[in-house]
Chain A
Amino acid sequence: MRRYLALTKCAFLTGMVWRAHFIFTLISNLAYIVILYFLWKSIYGVSQTLNGMTFNQVFVYMTVTSSIFVLFKTWLEWQVSRDIISGAITTQLTKPLDHQLMVLSHAFGRTLNNALVITLPALAVLFGIFRASIPVGWNVLFFCLSLPLACLLSLVIDYIIGLTSFYTESLWGISTTKEIIVLVLSGGLVPLGFFPEVMRNILSYLPFQAIYHTPASILTDASLSLADYTSMLGVQAAWVIVLLVISRLFFSQAVKAVTINGG
């Protein structure tokens, strides 16, 4: 365990070097919150609630999802892909460490960077400047529990995407497609409550809603009971396990296909 924590710490410290990067990413995230504010303001117009959500709820929901998006952006799949294509993976495989845990703990360090420098300031702006409010109660606790699960789920999906580099070098297209599918189908661009009924039903059987929709709706919806919260977390945990198993099977298959140019 300590070996993996060292990787996390290393990634965190390396990340802190790029201060200018964080400032601009922060500005860009804040700019996005501004769009969200005006866009949803004009969508609501004079209406009090749409699809059972108030303006305030939607605004908090969207800000949370967009901040989570930045939070989980660790470029993990690019790292994995670079290692595979350059051949660096061969030395990694000789280390007495599990490849997946190694990659995940590294990416987790990046997430801590993001949290500290991007997500927390964004939330400060949300509650400080836009005066958004959330119900305070069990939901905050469960939000804090569901966030790490969502993070793990997102990182595992990225890991699977990164592994496709064993077979193809066109990661840009695959990664972009994945990002968009996840964003749309998980409520990252529009709250899932706005989707037509049929689609919402289908989406509830897919893993994606557990990434953005679950934490965001836990935080904004105070009407849920404890049983609802636990079952939502249960669904998240189940998806994490399923995808972990898939990714490990995929890795053990893919690693046999490794071909590295020269050396």
Chain B
Amino acid sequence: MFANLVHYGRLYLRLEAQYIKARMNYRVDFIVSSIGMIFSNIASLAVFWVLFHTIPHLAGWTFEEILFIYGFYLLAVSPAQIFFDHIWQLRYHLMEGTFIKYYFRPLNMMFYYMSEMVDIKGFAQVVLGGAVIAYASTQLGLTWTAGRIGLMILTLFSASLVVIAILVIASCAAFWTLQSYSILALAFRLREFAQYPTTIFDGFFRFLFTYIIPIGFIAFYPSQLMLRPQEASWLIYISPVVGIALFALAYLVWSVGVNSYSGTGS
């Protein structure tokens, strides 16, 4: 098991090193896309900034606290963005039959498929997310004790698994419909709910975003634990389980999809 992990880890680093070298031939593209990435995230910051000119707090949360939640959100969505970006191409591979090649390597198929692409502009998002968290926690006077850093890493890990799982499940629709773009775009949009306090939603939607599509676990519940532990519900303590369970479900959906795909016949 352990030897296996090391093997895959090494392989991944090697594959990505090659991939990044190849991409870096298009340096301007990298810079322009990073600018686009940063812009699309700054837009949300601008919205909060404009809103807090008018209101003192949002559902009881101050500007700095909302920034913290947003920073957490940026970090949580980044692993999916960087390491699982190839999901957007799945429908082309399935339609054109090029997906067949992934069956013929002695490697885990999900690993092999996802390793074919890293989204380097996603790193710009990580930098921005880190900066936002750093700014917000300084403003809030948050001290980074070892315990809190550990907690942050643990909750971020499970939050990113939630994001990855939701997107992978959405992209897997392509195994059956061959057209998953709009489903994926819907999932991508649902992700945006995560940047607001889940408490702004009432009854049905709060239930939906906590238990059915656990978007609240992407940023709000973990941030609540960091910022206002006394208000945090017991739910957050099961968050690592939520992340792992959801990822396991996504992996199951992927495996069923992979086994049911019959190629294009060419």
Binding site for B on A (CB under 8 A): 18, 20-25, 27-28, 31-32, 34-35, 38-39, 41-43, 45, 50-51, 168-170, 172-177, 179-181, 183-184, 189-190, 194-196
B34 within 8 A of A: yes
Contacts of A25 in B (CB 8 A): 182, 185-186
- Contact A172:B177 (CB < 8 A) given known A21-B182, A35-B192, A189-B47: no
Q: Which of A28, A39, A41, A181 contacts B189 (CB 8 A)?
A: A28
Q: Which of A21, A175, A189 contacts B181 (CB 8 A)?
A: A21
Contacts of A21 in B (CB 8 A): 179, 181-182
- How far, in whole Å, are A223 and B222 apart by their CA atoms in the complex? 46
Q: Which residue of B lies closest to A21 (CB)?
A: B182
**Chain B binding surface SS class:** helix
Kindly state the interface size class of chain B when it binds its partner: 35 or more
The answer to whether A24 and B29 touch across the interface, beta carbons within 8 angstroms, is no
The answer to whether A180 and B53 touch across the interface, beta carbons within 8 angstroms, is no
Q: Which of A28, A51, A177, A184 contacts B46 (CB 8 A)?
A: A184
Q: Which residue of A lies closest to B178 (CB)?
A: A20
The answer to whether A194 and B58 touch across the interface, beta carbons within 8 angstroms, is no
Contacts of B55 in A (CB 8 A): 43, 45, 50
- Contact A20:B29 (CB < 8 A) given known A28-B185, A50-B55, A180-B43: no
- How far, in whole Å, are A38 and B58 apart by their CA atoms in the complex? 11
The answer to whether A170 and B201 touch across the interface, beta carbons within 8 angstroms, is no
Tell me the smallest distance from the CB of B235 to a CB of chain A, in Å: 20
A31-B193, A168-B29 given; 5 more Cβ-contact pairs under 8 Å:
A25-B182, A35-B193, A169-B26, A173-B32, A196-B50
Contacts of A43 in B (CB 8 A): 51, 54-55, 58
The answer to whether B53 and A196 touch across the interface, beta carbons within 8 angstroms, is yes
B111 within 8 A of A: no
- How far, in whole Å, are A219 and B189 apart by their CA atoms in the complex? 27
Q: Which of A18, A27, A45, A194 contacts B50 (CB 8 A)?
A: A194
- How far, in whole Å, are A194 and B48 apart by their CA atoms in the complex? 11
The answer to whether A35 and B196 touch across the interface, beta carbons within 8 angstroms, is yes
Q: Which residue of B lies closest to A51 (CB)?
A: B54
Contacts of A184 in B (CB 8 A): 43, 46-47
In the complex, which of the residues A51, A169, A170, A181 has the most CB atoms of chain B within 10 Å of its own CB atom?
A: A170
B9 within 8 A of A: no
| 7 pairs of residues in contact across A and B, judged by CB atoms under 8 Å | A20-B179, A43-B58, A45-B55, A172-B33, A173-B33, A184-B43, A195-B50
Tell me the smallest distance from the CB of B171 to a CB of chain A, in Å: 13
- How far, in whole Å, are A38 and B196 apart by their CA atoms in the complex? 10
The answer to whether A172 and B47 touch across the interface, beta carbons within 8 angstroms, is no
B22 within 8 A of A: no
Q: Which of A22, A51, A177 contacts B39 (CB 8 A)?
A: A177
Contacts of B189 in A (CB 8 A): 28, 31-32
Contacts of B28 in A (CB 8 A): 168, 170
Tell me the smallest distance from the CB of B143 to a CB of chain A, in Å: 30
Tell me the smallest distance from the CB of B172 to a CB of chain A, in Å: 15
Q: Which of A35, A177, A179, A183 contacts B35 (CB 8 A)?
A: A177
The answer to whether B43 and A176 touch across the interface, beta carbons within 8 angstroms, is no
